[in-house]
Chains A and B, each alone.
Chain A
Amino acid sequence: MPTGFLKLKRQLPKLGIGLGLRRDMAAETLEHRAQIGFLELVPENYMGVGGKAREVLLKAASAFPLISHGVNLSIGSTDELNLDYLKELKALLDEYNIAWFSDHLCFTSIEGGYLHDLLPVPFSKSTVKHIVERVKRVQDFVGRPFLLENISYYMYLPGQDMTEGEFTTEILEQADCGLLLDVNNVYVNAVNHGFDAHKFLDTLPLERVVQIHIAGHKMGKEMIIDTHGSPVIEPVYKLLDSVLRKTPVCGVLLERDQNFPDFDEIVTELAEIRKVAEKAQPELVRGDELVRAH
């Protein structure tokens, strides 16, 4: 019988196939309720913000299940956790009764300065200890299921004494939280650092995956970059398929943050993701259909 987070995971709603709520596509997104199972918002864009952003959020909340995906918790930083941030975050999650929230396994700030980028931490036992303690405090404070996402990293940091798989597993198990598995990030890292993405998946505690991210990337000057600005490619769909066959999840989310195409293309991509999910994990999409019909 699972306990702790794994037990909690069984009680979470199956939201199906979702889309990131972005200002540039908000109007079309809100018009496509039938094609979208749920929306993921970036809380920093709404915390303490009124005007148009709040109007969009209220409309989104009245039509879709919402979940929250933060970018500046900075769980890997050695700065004190930002209490003002946590208070505002908790207030937002409570106001919209958000089923789970997530952020990235990285740091984004140091000595009070925010770099506004997802920056890697060394895969080491001492980093595990540091992050586990902080995740526990965040979970206690917010009181909702919490997921950490694997990032795309463009360098390994000095002082590592673990693999990424060991590092991630230790943190998730010791802190007893969930995994937001970004399969595009897995692909990007595998190509940039020369490892087998499918073998890497087997080093993760997949039973803790609650949500999956899928997105596109592009070739940068020296590496491929996780831009969320192009269509999802076939090998990334394969990774999605592989994860869905291994563990039940509650949602798969398409991330698109720039280079916005015609919304029809987004709808086509969502349908493609749905097709993969229907074959690999039909119960995920059934849940989604129930929600959408409701």
Chain B
Amino acid sequence: MSVLTNLEKTLSILWTNESARSRYLKDGQLPDGEFSKSIAEAIDERGLRTYAELIAIGRNDLMLSVYPGCARLLNKKWKETLDDYFETCPPKHYRLNMSAADFSQYLKDSRLDLLQKFPYLSDLADYEWIELQLMEDKRQVSPEPHEPLSRPEQFEKSAPIVNPVLSLRNYNYQVPLIVEYLRDGEMPRNITPREIMVAVYRDPETHMGCYVEVTPGIARVIEQAQSTPTSYADLATLAISYSKASNPQDALLEFFEVVEKLQSLKLFIGTQAL
């Protein structure tokens, strides 16, 4: 390892790892011992403390902006959690925001202690992250006019265009409700497990993130239309198989309502011929 590599590596550990830094400041012990004594002694302590603080502030600012709900929930545990998160998942991307990408997975993999207290924590983290990810998605979306499905051949031979900047998320808890509590400055109460599906997407005009809770049937329709262009007729068949309506006509009417709704929400952003 070159001297420069060794120096950059050692300093980055001292700047970001509180216990390594304390050991060095206390008894001059460096994280790896490839340095001469003279170099070890020449590391400026005031500088170490300053960079440690600046890096920690940068990380906290970023994570607070992406995960305001998790931060409120974790409260006094927030700082310790962040330190451990960055130690476990060091940022691998040149884009700052990407440093926050693995937080939900980290909570699932490494923080059973926190999940025991807040079982919905990793769902909440995913919910908070996905909005940012979609806001930054590089795909451009240009909505096209919707055609009314008045003629049967249109129903058979055309398919909806699904907003490409969209993600269907499966949660074990009612995350939107949890977010509401936290936004109001309250701790979530009486949260019991309940599976929900949420469509998260970017509005093509305002570029804002949008969330809509969807039923399993609607989720399947969106998923199918997303994976391959599928005629309205085939989507209707799929939707009807999930419907609780008492007869096929009502189920079909229900499907038309769903299509209209998805269009107005800009989850469907146009119609294409098959």
Contacts and interface: CB of A to CB of B under 8 A. Distances in A.
Interface in A25-79: 44-45, 47-55, 72, 76-78
A77 B99 contact: no
A157 B7 CA distance: 9
A107 interface: yes
Interface residues of B: mostly helix, strand, loop or mixed?
Answer: helix
B74 to A, nearest CB: 22
Given A85-B94, A113-B92, A154-B47, A225 B54 contact: yes
Contacts of A222: 46, 49-50
Contacts of B99: 114, 116
Interface in A216-271: 220-223, 225
Nearest to B2: A78
B95 A44 contact: yes
Interface in B127-149: 134-140
Nearest to B135: A51
Interface stretch (A9-17, A119-127, A175-183): A119-127
A115 interface: yes
B96 A44 contact: yes
A159 interface: yes
A154 B5 CA distance: 20
Between B12, B50, B94, the greatest number of chain A beta carbons within 10 A of the residue's beta carbon is seen for: B94
B255 interface: no
A191 B93 CA distance: 34
Contacts of A47: 94-95
Contacts of B46: 154-155, 222-223
Contacts, number: 127
Contact of B207 (A51, A109, A114): A51
A78 B4 contact: yes
Interface in B68-124: 90-96, 99
B165 to A, nearest CB: 8
A82 interface: yes
Given A117-B58, A222-B46, A154 B51 contact: yes
Contacts of B44: 155-156
A112 interface: yes
A111 interface: yes
Given A114-B91, A119-B11, A158 B42 contact: yes
Contacts of A50: 136-140, 165
B53 interface: yes
A275 interface: no
B55 interface: yes
B231 to A, nearest CB: 29
A52 B136 CA distance: 8
Contacts of A72: 94-95
Interface in A98-118: 107, 109-117
18 contacts: A44-B94, A44-B95, A49-B136, A52-B135, A72-B94, A72-B95, A82-B94, A114-B90, A115-B15, A116-B55, A117-B58, A122-B4, A130-B4, A154-B47, A155-B46, A157-B7, A222-B46, A223-B50
Given A52-B135, A107-B8, A114-B93, 5 more contacts: A51-B202, A78-B2, A159-B3, A221-B50, A222-B49
